Amino acid sequence: MGRIFAIISTILGSIIGAGFSTGQEIFYFFSQFKEKSFFYIGFSSILIFLILLYLVNIRIKSRIILMIFKSYILLFSVITLIVMFSAFGQLGVEFLGVSKYIFTLLCFVLSIAIFKHGLLAVINMNKVVVSILITALIFVFLKAWHKNEIMFQFESLRCTLPKDILNHLIFPLLYSTYNSLLAFPVVNGLKERFCQKEIKISIGISSIIIFFLLSIINVMLLWEANLQTSQMPLLKVEKNIILHFILVTCAFLEILTTTLANYMGLSYSIKNPKAEFVIIILSLILGFNEFQELLRKLYSLMGYIGLGIIAMLSLSTLLLKDRRLK
């Protein structure tokens, strides 16, 4: 159980990044559809499970396809790094009143220092951070529910699918594709330390946890409509100073864990440490841009490209009849 907990924490730590822990990503992809958003959250959770399970099992024999896949992971890691650096700086501005340049640089320094200690350091950090974040979110949700601060109309969901589900289906598709490919380098790295059965079980449990966390955050965002204009809506839900401090701290730490996941993506794509460092520096410079705009534009872009990558991998699997990835 300890080994499975370590895997689950590491998978969740790579997915629960800036957009997730601040609520911005969840509002953009789900909450904007109001009560219908729960259907899309469920669909996304199932897709994340299926895509990660698929990536764990496939193997690419074609050098051309493998090169294209690694190139995507490289581009994916760079774009996500830019968003993570920007988010860290934005958190510093909104909650501490400190220049975003200082906090963006701080994110760079801390993440490099942790990554130098290897995969074990990444796993241990995720075990702590994910546990604290999940506990804090559940406590905040139950506290608000008990005080009747959250009274979402669940009866409006009914048992029927939304009539316009096909028009909005692209949002859960983009979200699940993006986050699955974000977690892939981490899952691929875990294969060196854990057996495949443990990883598969952990992927299933992680998908269930993601569904519940997305649903909890979504309910809070739907109830607090005035927060939806903020770049960090989730972090302004709780008014209690201690809980607020915990949520903000977790957001900082989760941005770091996702940054580490993207460093692993760079290591998977290129084997030259000097080239990796140059790419990280370029991402840092671009990370000084506005967080909200970067997240909405770049995440969607990479989601679309990711759909093409998944389609390409599926086609190659059917043609080559091989189900393990190098």
pLDDT of 112 strictly over 80:
yes
Percentage with pLDDT > 70 across the chain: 81
Report if residue 130 sits inside a domain. yes
Question: Do the domain assignments include residue 325?
Answer: no
| pLDDT tens digits, 183-194 | 888 888 888 888
**Spatial distance between the Cα atoms of 50 and 1, rounded to a whole number of angstroms:** 22
Is residue 293 one of the residues assigned to a domain? yes
- Those residues with Cβ within 8 angstroms of residue 208's Cβ, 6 or more apart along the chain or in another chain: 45
Average pLDDT, the chain: 79
**Region 228-251: what's the mean pLDDT?**
75
* Domain span at 36: 2-320
pTM for this model (two decimals): 0.78
The yes-or-no verdict on residue 1 having pLDDT over 50 is: yes
How many other C-beta atoms lie within 10 A of the C-beta of residue 197? Answer: 9
Write out pLDDT tens, residues 75-110: 888 888 888 888 888 888 877 888 888 988 998 998
Whether 229 maps to a domain, the answer reads: yes
Q: How far apart are the two ends of the chain, measured CA to CA in Å?
A: 27
**Residue 34: is its pLDDT beyond 90?**
no
In a domain, 326, yes or no: no
Average pLDDT over residues 229-241: 70
In a domain, 63, yes or no: yes
CATH code of the domain in which 57 resides: 1.20.1740.10
Is residue 262 included in any domain, yes or no? yes
Number of compact structural domains in the chain: 1
CA–CA separation, 194 and 202 (whole Å): 11
Q: 52: which 2 tokens?
A: 């990660």
